Structure 1
Amino acid sequence: MSRQVSRTAKSIVAFLALTLVASCGTLPRSGPNKREIYAGSVINGGDAFIVSVNPRVTAATAVTPALGFSSEFRNASALGADTIRPGDTLGLIIYENVEDGLLTNAGASASLIDEVQVDSAGMIFIPYAGRLRAAGNTPEALRRIITQRLDEQTPDPQVVVRRLAGNGATVSVVGGAGAQGVFPIERPTRTLTAMIAAAGGVAISPEIALVNVSRGARTETAYLSDLYKNPSMDIALRDGDTIYIEQDTRAFTVLGATGAQNRMEFETEVISAIEALAQVGGLNANLANPTGVFVFRNEPEEIAEAVMGRDDLTGTQRLVYVLDLTEPNGMFDARDFIIRDGDTIYVTEAPIVAWNRSVAAIFGSLGQIRSAATTVGG
């Protein structure tokens, strides 16, 4: 009788265990499988368009950050190191080729006009020459202007102009520079890259360094690497400019059957899907399904329409891009597909992994069942 009870108990426990495993829905795993992702597509009643990556899709989605300086910044001429500015104090000596000159005292051939300050409007006043614009001119340019004005009053005047005091033009360098501070615009440091070099270069990776230039109420941004690739981006500086160097904050997330699951920052200005996977150690050889590499992204309307070949979409669209690394051109497509800020890359598990997990769960449960049944049956 006890043996019959033991067999009955084992059968009941085994049946309950198998029923539990079969009805549990999903076993522990890193995320949805390939079939479940496709089930969420628009054609299946979901809210995401699922698109296989090919050269046409790669070209339509190859959008990189539109950074760079405007023509107003790029066309500004280099500022002279000796340019006169409001607040500067000037000294003038005027020689007249007559015994009784306009500005000279009796018996003197020269007149010293000392400590002429440039007012906030950039102007100075010289007797018989009138009110003149000094700011923006070099001492040599101002000398010619004064000479021309006085030449109408006295024959062949000779003028000497020199700056007595004044800090000259300066810029502020802050952020991720080698040295932060206020630096003068001098002959060797009239351009942006020269000033950055004078400030000790950058203390962050040059590949992801952003250079912001604030001029008045306007701020424009460019990648540091672009300043060297495109010489027109190496703009001339202006008095009062602020140069702020910061690290690129763009990032993407990698999940699923990869070497690591993490939020990753961009290590270069442009990064491809292959490079993004490489940053986390590539696919997990024991888990990954190379036919199911997905990129989840919210696409602007115009890009979504280009990808889908439609003109009836409205607003931002959810797109899921599929990369099959086993296809003949799969690796090339992944190499050319550009990852953008905020993307989520998800690698599905191979079907055999789910099968092995189910088998392990069943036989693991059966082992526990046998132990329990033995205990129950005595």
Structure 2
Amino acid sequence: MRNDFLNVAGILLSGAALLALTGCGTLLSGSGPSTDDVIAQSTSPGVQRYEIVDINSSVLDILRHRGPDSFLTHFGDYRPSVEPKIGVGDTVAVTIWEAGAGGLFSAPLVSDRFSTGSKSSTIPDQIVGRDGSISVPYAGRIKVAGRTTQEVQGIVEHALAGKAIEPQVLINMPKSVSNSVTVTGEVVNGARVPLSVRGDRVMDVIATAGGIRAPVNETYVQLSRGQETVRVAMSRVSSDPKENIYLRPNDVLTLIRDPQTFIAYGATGRNAEIPFDAEGISLSQALAKAGGLMDFRSDPAGVFVFRFEPESVVRALAPGSTLVAHNRVTPVVYRLNLRDAASLFIAQGFRIQNRDLLYVSNAPITDAEKVMQIVSMISSPALTGLSACAYIKC
């Protein structure tokens, strides 16, 4: 019986040893790929899956020149808005003066020798029709759409010449819908804000709409003009005068709340989606927010940032990349080796972006420790049995 037990124990120990030798890779559970796996899996047979970029000073220079989206760059518009022009749907008021009484638009001379009668007449407010015209008595339909108030005044005066007594005309726009900006989103009062003759910048219009409701560092300003839409951080618009551009009629300004977060995963002290709590943070700050690297588990040479980059950035980082396609983003994995002391300076200059994934791989010794734990778990019953058998002298 003792020999049978020893044979069984030997089989268990042999199996445990074989499991240790093979690495039991399929049985081990981990938080993700190892450093070598991330590098090796960037390509599969004949296909490149993502770019691996080692973070260094050259990479930081390229990313600094990348720059965020900019109103000034896209619209190139840092001049005061042009003088408003009348458009379809605007409300127009016409007032006409004459040089003497008794004319088309002035009252007749009264008997009182000290009164000359009224010399002016105001035509009721009119909304510019779809034909772009308004009606003026004795002048007919006047085309006003696309013209300034001064231009319309001259046209009406010319049309009344010879009919009225030296007419003088004043054109006003009590309400203009064609010279306004639509403001919506995270503002106190979404509205159609009319633009002034002086010109209104982005911050002026936002203030007119009551200001923003969300924190500045979580708010983006999205400007749609024609077929182009650009989104810029509110903190940048408020701090950089060049981004606080003048708006144009029919612009659509949307304030969007988008909390800035990154995901920490792997051998860090905290695996979670973590908010920036600031306008922007560096990789070193992100590691600190994630609880740092775990002393007995993490691989300092395996700190990775997973991100999708635009075409222009990838062409600068990896000119020969086969993944780059026009108007498409490319998956890029940035790697930092914290075993190198100089990398601590590099980490301070590398900026984390919204929705980045920060991953720290396990150290190779961690997998070996897991193997030994499994071997111990399997062999422990056999060793216990042997000890008992030796004690009772079976």
SS in 1 for 2:60: helix
Q: What is the one-letter code of the residue matched to 1:8?
A: N
Q: What is the one-letter code of the residue matched to 2:7?
A: T
Among 360, 385, 389, the alignment partner of 1:347 is 360
CA distance in structure 2 between the aligned counterparts of 1:153 and 1:328, rounded to whole angstroms: 90
Matched, 1:292 2:302: yes
How far does residue 132 in structure 1 lie from its aligned partner after superposition? 5.0
Distance 1:143 1:193, change over 3 A: same
Q: What is the one-letter code of the residue matched to 2:285?
A: E
Mapped contact 1:294–1:347 kept (Cα < 8 A)? yes
Query: TM-score, normalized by length of structure 1?
Result: 0.76
Q: What is the one-letter code of the residue matched to 2:350?
A: F
Matched, 1:207 2:220: no
Mapped contact 1:51–1:320 kept (Cα < 8 A)? yes
CA distance in structure 2 between the aligned counterparts of 1:239 and 1:250, rounded to whole angstroms: 31
Within 5 A, what are the aligned runs for 1:17-166?
Answer: 17-23=16-22, 25-26=24-25, 27-40=28-41, 47=48, 49-62=51-64, 63-68=66-71, 70-71=74-75, 74-75=78-79, 77=81, 86-97=89-100, 101=103, 103-107=105-109, 108-120=117-129, 121-126=131-136, 132=142, 157-159=167-169
Q: What is the one-letter code of the residue matched to 2:301?
A: T
Matched, 1:331 2:334: no
How far does residue 110 in structure 1 lie from its aligned partner after superposition? 1.5
Which residue of 1 is the match for residue 11 of structure 2?
12
CA distance in structure 1 between the aligned counterparts of 2:211 and 2:357, rounded to whole angstroms: 34
CA distance in structure 2 between the aligned counterparts of 1:237 and 1:61, rounded to whole angstroms: 30
How far does residue 341 in structure 1 lie from its aligned partner after superposition? 5.8
Query: TM-score, normalized by length of structure 2?
Result: 0.73
Q: What is the one-letter code of the residue matched to 1:90?
A: A
CA distance in structure 1 between the aligned counterparts of 2:250 and 2:22, rounded to whole angstroms: 70
SS in 2 for 1:233: coil
Which residue of 1 is the match for residue 240 of structure 2?
230
Which residue of 1 is the match for residue 112 of structure 2?
none
How far does residue 330 in structure 1 lie from its aligned partner after superposition? 0.3
How far does residue 296 in structure 1 lie from its aligned partner after superposition? 3.8
Mapped contact 1:171–1:184 kept (Cα < 8 A)? yes
Mapped contact 1:289–1:347 kept (Cα < 8 A)? yes
CA distance in structure 1 between the aligned counterparts of 2:313 and 2:290, rounded to whole angstroms: 28
CA distance in structure 2 between the aligned counterparts of 1:300 and 1:114, rounded to whole angstroms: 58
Mapped contact 1:254–1:263 kept (Cα < 8 A)? yes
Moved more, 153-162 or 282-291: 153-162
CA distance in structure 2 between the aligned counterparts of 1:44 and 1:162, rounded to whole angstroms: 72
SS in 1 for 2:71: coil
Moved more, 128-137 or 338-347: 128-137
Which residue of 2 is the match for residue 245 of structure 1?
255
Which residue of 2 is the match for residue 255 of structure 1?
265
Distance 1:147 1:343, change over 3 A: same
Q: What are structure 1's unaligned runs of at least 5 residues?
A: none
* Number of residues of Structure 1 aligned to a counterpart in Structure 2: 373
Which residue of 2 is the match for residue 182 of structure 1?
191
Distance 1:243 1:282, change over 3 A: same
Mapped contact 2:103–2:165 kept (Cα < 8 A)? no
Mapped contact 1:95–1:109 kept (Cα < 8 A)? no
Q: What is the one-letter code of the residue matched to 1:281?
A: G
How far does residue 136 in structure 1 lie from its aligned partner after superposition? 7.3
CA distance in structure 2 between the aligned counterparts of 1:213 and 1:159, rounded to whole angstroms: 38
Q: Give the percent of matched residue pairs that are identical in Structure 1 and Structure 2.
A: 27
Q: What is the one-letter code of the residue matched to 1:364?
A: M
Deviations 1:144-192 (A, max 9, x none): 7756776787676555556677889654432222x24325437699433
Distance 1:143 1:76, change over 3 A: same
SS in 2 for 1:7: helix
Distance 1:170 1:373, change over 3 A: farther
Distance 1:12 1:182, change over 3 A: same
How far does residue 211 in structure 1 lie from its aligned partner after superposition? 1.5
Mapped contact 1:94–1:158 kept (Cα < 8 A)? yes
How far does residue 325 in structure 1 lie from its aligned partner after superposition? 1.7
Moved more, 26-35 or 297-306: 297-306
SS in 2 for 1:367: helix
Distance 1:228 1:341, change over 3 A: closer
RMSD: 4.3
